[in-house]
Structure 1
Amino acid sequence: MVTDAPKNAIILAAGCGSRLRPLTDLRPKPLIEVNGTSILHNALRNLETVGVEEVTIVVGYRKDAIQYACGSRFGGLRIKYVESTVFDRTGSAYSLWLARDALLSGDCFLLEGDVFFEEDALRYLIICRSTDVAAVVPFDDSMEGSAVLLSQNGFISGFRLKQTASNLVADGPKLFKTMNLLRLSAPTLKATIVPTLDDIIAAGARQTYTEELFGYLIERRGLQLAAARCDGLSWYEIDNAEDLQIAERIFRNRMNAYTPTRDSQTR
């Protein structure tokens, strides 16, 4: 077990997952399964393996299903829940703000609830010498969504939202895809991230996304966010049915499916 990993983690899992309908008509996106293992259970298993002890899950859509699937303990993890009652009209930064008590509890991992990834992605975050770090991979023509630029010394210098293959040009800056997996330090959370979240929500900007938050923190508040290069690791962000098929292909031969039984969880 890694001994210097954060003991706490936050998973943002409140969204509707509308692009995965009808699969999400009766269950939330984090409970969608990849080769028999749900996105959320995979994340919890990986967090437990690297030494996390407590996880706060922000729930909203079909919250009861997540609470039933994970209970108050998952293996050796203590599970807490924070509910968003306005999940259908707020962005992920609002969900993060709701979990501000957990953010102030010490160093933590921050995960989005739609990323299926292998355990080593967390280990790459842990071994990075910087105290605040985000997992990234090179942006290729099969990807879309948020991208970042890196400075020469390996820090994220800016965010670019809604990127596609058309944004990749031979003579343009090299883009990297954010994996929505971060490790954040207690001092940064207390002095920078939580106060900025307070400001954003007080200003009424409830539809802000976490990518916009971190872009603002880097460009306006001096956040030094290092990039952990996870080139070659297996992972996929699952937004639609095609993404799910790709994730299943990636992990079919790379990881053993893991489906926790009720006996493995203390409810």
Structure 2
Amino acid sequence: MKAVILAGGFGKRLRPLTDERPKPLIEIAGKPIIEWQIKWLKKFGVTSVFVLAGYKKEVLIDWVAKNQDKLGISIAILTEDQPLGTGGAIKRLNGFISNGERFFVLNGDILTNLDLFKLEDDKAVAVISLVPLRSPFGIVKVERDGIITQFVEKPILKDYWINAGVYSMSSEIFEYLPEKGDIEKETFPLLAQKGLLKGITFDNVYWRSIDTLKDYEEANAEITEVFKD
């Protein structure tokens, strides 16, 4: 089974952590994000990973060269000289993925333990993982007479689902990918119109996107409990 890690972003909101390295190499509890991801992918039978790199690609290439044997998985890095967007980056894999083959795709800043096998579907061109929205703010519960009854810190809003940035795709996806542009803005809306896109909801799983310094701090406190051996 093959997987693709999208690692081309600049990570501007994580500076200064990304001044000298790309987001997948930010260390969470002593390990780079990409190492946590590979450890997780291997549990689902992934034996080959393509890393689609852009910003600070030389640093990522060097890290892979030094760590590939330890990771015990085949890793190939495809680089881009100018940003192609998530869709354009994946399109460059056409030819590396066999006709009729399914593969996983994930953003390079995601930490999760969701079950990848649940994303397998022979009928959909792409399957999106969905997780409940976590409020970025604490909320206040108020009765009709204005009496405050409870403060809830950043609750999970289980009536609202967000794209978790982890996908299963078939080789047919290449027909719908732009030469330059994002799958979220161009490919997925088109597939949805054609009834070729599926979403699988995941409740009670760990999921965090490392977008900000606060995400980084919170993930460091959480991750070792989630990924206990």
The answer to whether the superposition gives a TM-score over 0.5 is yes
| Aligned counterparts, 1:214-253, within 5 A | 214-220=187-193, 222-253=194-225
Structure 2: which amino acid aligns with 1:178? Answer: N
Moved more, 13-22 or 60-69: 60-69
**Are the structure 2 counterparts of residues 80 and 223 from structure 1 closer, same or farther at C-alpha, using a change threshold of 3 Å?**
farther
| Structure-2 separation of matches of 1:121 and 1:27 | 29
| Structure-1 separation of matches of 2:76 and 2:212 | 28
Correspondence for 2:174 = 194
- Report the Cα offset of residue 64 of structure 1: 2.0
How well do the aligned residues superpose, as a CA RMSD in angstroms? 2.5
Instruction: Give me the identity figure in percent.
Output: 26
Correspondence for 1:141 = 135
CA contact (8 A) 1:73 1:79 kept: no
SS at match of 1:102: coil
| Aligned counterparts, 1:173-192, within 5 A | 174-185=159-170, 189-190=171-172
Correspondence for 1:213 = 186
CA contact (8 A) 1:56 1:102 kept: no
- Deviations for 1:95-147, whole angstroms, at most 9, x for unmatched residues? 112222334462100111010112x4324324x6865422111223229xxxx
Higher strand residue share? 2
- Report the Cα offset of residue 84 of structure 1: 0.7
TM-score (norm 1): 0.69
Which of 6, 11, 29 is the matching residue for 1:12? 6
CA contact (8 A) 1:125 1:228 kept: yes
- Deviations for 1:182-203, whole angstroms, at most 9, x for unmatched residues? 1123xxx23xx21222xx32xx
Q: Is residue 2:105 matched to residue 1:110?
A: yes
| Aligned counterparts, 1:111-126, within 5 A | 111-118=106-113, 120-126=114-120
Structure 2, unmatched stretches of 5+, are 138-153
Q: Is residue 2:77 matched to residue 1:77?
A: no
| Structure-2 separation of matches of 1:44 and 1:213 | 28
